[in-house]
Structure 1
């Protein structure tokens, strides 16, 4: 065949366009949002040379293979739980007490796959030192099983400290399970995991490229941060394992983040979420542990695990429901503010109802394109009456929602399309006036160190900067 012939190039271009049309039909049938569906379909039909490869990598929005794996994991978990020695106190501990505040979140019982549970104890862990001190202390006291899951694990000082501690506990006979995301931890050397595995630690990367159809897929990422020790103590929040989370990056220091330490029945839900992810990575279940007793009094909690395997857009709907439930205030902190239309509409309606709506963002960018898109959305929110703030001292990475005087949520979900639809995320919803008061005090301290964004800031922004922001917003669905 003459590869320089015009006929060859004609057939080649025709083939590319044919594949582009097929991919466009796939986008129309599978992409969850109308805007995303239209954007992919038009670009695949008219410029497939530029968009076929990006669509192969970023285009999919449902993770079908994980759905089947989760079904199988749940069947095996139900069998394992049935073999445990259930006692009458278990049923009492797992019964959520009546709460008018929780009742205001009318969709939550069905939106969340896991139940709302009473009799939990929760404590705030503000910033990296408090978080890792608490996590490491709990692991040192482990006797049976330690479950560790992070989006990012770095082979730096804190990463090696974690590795050394896990090796020590494995030598003592404790069963250790470590799960990290293959994209988030792409810089983690192979030797880090090999060292753990040689010592008997079960260490796996959560990869979504399993199978031929997912071969090039990097769109779905496991962004969850979970630690569970002996089924007794759990941790959830925004920290990953890296020196930057302890202020080790001068450009972003001091790093502002929040974690939560949990004991009580809801820790079983953290184990369930970890087990589903571990099953995808290994096709085996980790040990499931139920403690012998629970405290009689405590905080009402619900774990909300969300991701691209959900039948609905769980994370986005949670934000919409929480904002709609607010009658007095809704305060949100997020490093990435790229809301969809439903969330932005909920914010505007809350403002019109007279709700005190505040959103706290970082003043320093860790991803410049995301920061540019976020800035444009922030200006639009200010014009709609939402009070927007920039945190001054360093990079703000915490993900916190405070609604009225009792409801709060802390976890891994950002206020952006990636968390709404593409990432596996986890949040801890709490309904308790005393704990919400602690969250309020924490956020008030953060707002005191912040500068409010005004309409004048938008007017003073150079036209070229605004152009860059608008270009960044065009690709915001995959940011």
Structure 2
């Protein structure tokens, strides 16, 4: 009996090492970064019993089977041809004046597969109460359809308020589409979904694991937060649907959203349709003719990014923004875990005299991310990068200000997950007036923060510094 058990164990070990070796070949061929490829290859061949299942769940970085409708459906469809014609005829497309601006615009448009548009009106929404007041206001005016997409959708007080507003509209004949991430919204009550469906509203999970080949694909997330009403107004930003996003006296919540009107809304709508098509195989009938709001003069671009992109779109966007900064680069993110190329770009910007500031929370909600952030202090201090920690509650906004006229606000964090594993959406605005509003907002945030000295890391215990370095090694999966 013992001999038989021993033989079975030996056979199992041999099989697992063979599987580990074969899987490591795939990891080397498909992993997007050299650091990740080396880490997976070593672990798969050394500890295949744990590494093989971990790789099939966490190691994949390419999201197969997702249709970029901006390339297929959109480019070949008469509706979109009419849309582009409408944009051109109504002076909604942008032609930059300088060669540098033309080159920069072309790069971003190629990444987004969407054009820069003018005549947009943009409102900056600081924190939860203002954001959700605007969301509910816009939902109340809906006449044709409402598109709702969140990473986290809770069946709490705020979530039920949203549900009731959507049900009321659905019962009045408005088409309602709700899309949520099944991991982020894992505790969403089934009764919540049933109530929406009983009102004729459509609600589905994004479902990253659909299909025979994708059943173990658990490491991807749809992190987008979108509301679109009638193709007329779109809201995008950092807020999810949960009571905590409104903030409390005990734990204030610092976040930022934007409300947009104008041709930029069509880009946000296209992003939602791509995700809806993946989740359901359907393309809803929507309004694709953009409006031209009174007083709208902001140039804007919608940049959806994700693991289905042929290139690492989010990473390239940030690299371009960092490299193009001349005077100022302020980045705000709850999670700051850049890879080597992004950190080097930040150092180069600081060394050429750019005011580089990074604002992160004093207390992160994820321990690995919190520890990893300390590992960048020495690199930052050597180049003149200033890192600040926000002290008044939890900081969750995702905002970037470049020089005096370029702003990015959206859902992407400054970490590997947002760069390579999450479906994200970032709104890019070129407008000096709007940039001044963002500057004023961020100056208030910096006033409620403290600059982090390098001694916060160097003067800590050996065990803490070892934990920090260990957490940094796990950056690719954070």
Q: Give 2:257's aligned residue.
A: 259
- Residue correspondence of structure 1 range 6-405 to structure 2 within 5 A: 6-66=6-66, 69-71=67-69, 74-75=72-73, 78-79=76-77, 81=79, 88=86, 91-98=89-96, 100=98, 102-103=101-102, 105=104, 107-248=107-248, 250=250, 253-291=251-289, 293-295=291-293, 297-405=296-404
- Conservation of the 8 A alpha-carbon contact between 1:149 and 1:227: yes
Q: Distance in 1 between matches of 2:259 and 2:97?
A: 23
User: Secondary structure of 2:138's partner?
Assistant: helix
Q: Secondary structure at the match of 2:214?
A: coil
| CA positional deviation for 1:110 | 1.9
CA deviations on 1:393-414 (whole Å, 9 max, x unpaired) are 0110000000000000000000
Q: 1:99 to 1:368 in 2, by over 3 A?
A: farther
> 1:441 & 1:264 partners in 2: Cα distance?
24
SS at match of 2:254: coil
Instruction: Give the unaligned 5+ runs of structure 2.
Output: none
Q: Are residues 256 and 61 of structure 1, via their aligned partners in 2, closer, same or farther at CA, if it must alter by over 3 Å? A: same
Q: Please give the per-residue CA displacement for 1:126-148, whole angstroms capped at 9, x wherever unaligned.
A: 00001000011000000001000
Q: CA deviation at 1:114?
A: 1.2
Check whether the contact 2:70–2:270 (CA below 8 A) recurs between aligned residues. Answer: no
**Number of residue pairs aligned between Structure 1 and Structure 2:** 475
Please state how far the C-alpha of 1:206 moved relative to its aligned partner.
0.5
Secondary structure of 2:322's counterpart equals: helix
Residue deviations 1:139-189 (CA, integer Å, cap 9, x gap): 000000100000000111100000000000001100000000011111111
Tell me, in whole angstroms, the C-alpha distance in 2 between the residues paired with 1:235 and 1:56: 35
Kindly report the root-mean-square deviation, in angstroms, between the aligned alpha carbons of the 2 structures: 2.1
Give TM-score, length-normalised by structure 1.
0.95
Change (3 A) 1:223 1:3: farther
Match of 1:468 in 2: 467
Structure 2 contact 83–289 (Cα < 8 Å) conserved = no
Separation (CA, whole Å) in 1 of partners of 2:160 and 2:288: 30
Aligned equivalents of 2:406 and 2:84: distance in 1?
31
Asked whether the 8 Å contact 1:151–1:185 carries over to 2, the reply is: yes
Task: Indicate the SS of the match to 2:253.
Answer: coil
Asked if the contact 1:20–1:48 (Cα under 8 Å) also holds between the matched residues in 2, the reply is: yes
2:212 counterpart SS class = coil
In 2, Cα distance between equivalents of 1:139 and 1:80: 29
CA distance, structure 2, for counterparts of residue 435 and residue 117 of structure 1: 15
Deviates further, 103-112 or 434-443: 103-112
Do structure 1's residue 431 and structure 2's residue 422 form an aligned pair?
A: no
Query: Does structure 1 retain, via aligned residues, the 8 Å contact 2:378–2:454?
Result: yes
Contact 2:330–2:401, Cα closer than 8 Å, also in 1: yes
SS in 2 for 1:310: coil
Q: Is the 8 A contact 1:337 1:378 kept in 2?
A: no
Checking the alignment, whether the CA contact within 8 Å between 2:144 and 2:174 is kept in structure 1 is yes
Query: In the aligned structure 2, how far is the partner of 1:2 from the partner of 1:199?
Result: 63
Separation of aligned partners in 1, 2:188 and 2:101: 41
Q: Which runs of 5+ in 1 are unaligned?
A: none
Instruction: Tell me, in whole angstroms, the C-alpha distance in 2 between the residues paired with 1:176 and 1:200.
Output: 8
What is the TM-score normalised by the length of structure 2? 0.95
